[in-house]
Amino acid sequence: MSETLRIGITCYPTLGGSGVVATELGKMLAEKGHDVHFITHSIPFRLGRFDKHIFFHEVEVSDYYVFRYPPYDLSLASKLAQVAKREKLDLLHVHYAIPHAVCALLAKQMVGDHLKVVTTLHGTDITVLAQDDSLSDLIRYAINQSDAVTAVSEDLIRETRETLLVDRPIDLTYNFVDKRVYYPRNVSKLRAEFAHVDEKILMHISNFRPVKRVLDVVEVFAKVNDNIPSRLLFVGEGPDLSKVMARVKELGISDRVSFCGKQDDVAEVISLADLLLLPSEKESFGLVALEAMACGVPTVGSLAGGIPELVKDGETGYLSPVGDTDKMARDAIRLLSDGDLYQRMVEACLSRARNAFCNNRITADYEDIYYRVLGRT
Ligand code: GMT
């Protein structure tokens, strides 16, 4: 099927893996000739280039003085309907049930049933918000009413079914990275600014939310550093950053730890690392572990959510029960002190990222879903 489509995409444009995946998908679809309309409150941060098939429509929120809370969701629904009508969109692909799928369904009621809604679940609206009684019925409604629902891991599909008692079909569409961007970069000069040649670099990248268990990263690193001279690079920022800084100081390892803040060129930054640490409590997929894998960097992390579907324990990294920092440290030490084992893992990472999470194939899977809901298969 080669018919080009007019697709609206709504996501959180300024943060997180879901925004990255939605933006990268939009770019891939535009390369294939589809018209892609991002309908969001700001321009997606990874959009990065002019393309005649990509459009951006800004959602502006009314600041009418009687509104105690500016009604972003209503403004979004209204904008989705306006753009869908004006641009004759075939479908809206929204990332997250709350609020985006709910807004898209309202837009569909305004525009007509020919406008299809595809909802991608990324995690927290199931693993966090669906636990909240005040929202669970609305999330279930959004999932049941969407024309298609996709989720980024088997684990998330299972959890959606168990938590919300949803039994409609849900397509599995793993996240992907663009292999033209994510590959092992030559960063030897930059690396010398962070570590001596005989030191290893461990890295953690996240939004420092409690769910990421960033304090575990510090504990694992301290144990590794007792055995192998190493450095720890933190990338990103968020609520737990100050606790992490305090713990680093308390352990007397400040001279071995760098806080790099938010970074744009993730492929370049990750290529500095010998190992990624991802000890999350919940993680529906763990896009950063895929970004690392594609750059040839193994992950030591937790057996949480969808991480085991991505990181193959013993092949492309090592996984432990959540909170087991002793085992995580032992695994890291074993891997970083055995050159042959390490090299095998780097190669396994590169091949798994290319084959199992190929951007072309996963984009084609999304297109198949679009054609299916439009009845054009
Ligand atoms: O992990 C976060 O805090 C950000 C969140 C987001 O909205 O990007 O990430 C979720 O979606 C990503 C893309 O599908 C997944 O890789 C993350 O695992 C997922 N986060 C959680 O499940 C906690």
Tell me, using a 6 A CB cutoff, whether residue 312 lines ligand 1.
no
> Which pLDDT belongs to residue 46?
79
Residue with tokens 């144990």: 223
For residue 355, give Cα distances in angstroms to 129, 145, 307. 33, 33, 17
Q: Please tell me what DSSP assigns to residue 99.
A: I
Tell me, using a 6 A CB cutoff, whether residue 285 lines ligand 1.
yes
The residue ranges of every structural domain in the chain are 6-176+358-373, 188-356
| Rounded percentage of the chain residues whose pLDDT exceeds 70 | 100
Residue with tokens 């409150």: 41
Select from 346, 237, 241 the least CA-distant residue to 299.
346
6-176+358-373 and 188-356, same CATH topology: yes
| Model pLDDT for residues 45-67, shown as the tens digit of each residue | 878 878 999 999 999 988 878 77
Select from 274, 275, 267, 263 the least CA-distant residue to 237.
263
Q: pLDDT tier at 355 (50, 70, 90 boundaries)?
A: very high
| Model pLDDT for residues 239-250, shown as the tens digit of each residue | 999 999 999 999
Q: Classify strands 54-58 and 35-40 as parallel, antiparallel or unpaired.
A: parallel
Q: What angle do CA 324, 329, 331 make, to 5 degrees?
A: 100
Cα 127 to middle of ligand 1, angstroms: 11
CA distance 251 to 213: 17
Task: Record the tokens describing residue 218, joined without a space.
Answer: 């510090």
Helix 214-227 to helix 325-336 angle (10° resolution) is: 50
Cα 51 to middle of ligand 1, angstroms: 27
CATH classification of 188-356 is 3.30.420.40, yes or no? no
The answer to whether the CB of 10 falls within 8 A of the CB of 104 is yes
CA distance 162 to 143: 14
Tell me, using a 6 A CB cutoff, whether residue 46 lines ligand 1.
no
Q: Please tell me what DSSP assigns to residue 264.
A: S
User: What is the arithmetic mean of pLDDT over 109-126?
Assistant: 94
Atom of ligand 1 nearest to the CA of 16: 8
CA distance 162 to 233: 37
Whether 312 has a pLDDT exceeding 70, the answer reads yes
| Model pLDDT for residues 173-207, shown as the tens digit of each residue | 999 999 999 999 999 999 999 999 999 999 999 99
Residue 190 CB contacts under 8 Å (≥ 6 apart), including other chains: 268, 272
Residue with tokens 């030897």: 188
Q: Classify strands 275-278 and 171-172 as parallel, antiparallel or unpaired.
A: unpaired
Cα 212 to middle of ligand 1, angstroms: 10
Cα 286 to middle of ligand 1, angstroms: 6
Cα 17 to middle of ligand 1, angstroms: 5
CATH code for the part of the protein at 6-176+358-373? 3.40.50.2000
**In the chain, alpha helices (H):** 16-31, 72-86, 102-111, 124-127, 133-145, 154-164, 188-192, 214-227, 241-250, 266-270, 287-294, 307-310, 325-336, 339-356, 359-373
CA distance 308 to 298: 13
Does ipTM exceed 0.85? yes
Pocket test for ligand 1, best of 40, 119, 122, 299 (most atoms within 8 A of CB): 122
Tell me, using a 6 A CB cutoff, whether residue 25 lines ligand 1.
no
Select from 166, 185, 99 the least CA-distant residue to 135.
99
> Which pLDDT belongs to residue 149?
98
Tell me, using a 6 A CB cutoff, whether residue 316 lines ligand 1.
no
CA distance 349 to 135: 39
The answer to whether the CB of 260 falls within 8 A of the CB of 269 is yes
Of 41-55, 264-278, 304-318, 337-351, the one with minimum mean pLDDT is 41-55
In the 3-class helix/strand/coil scheme, how is 34-95 assigned residue by residue?
A: CEEEEEECCCCCCCCCCCCCEEEEECCCCCCCCCCCCCHHHHHHHHHHHHHHHCCCCEEEEE
Atom of ligand 1 nearest to the CA of 21: 13
Helix (H) or strand (E) holding 258, with range, is strand 257-259
> Which pLDDT belongs to residue 1?
54
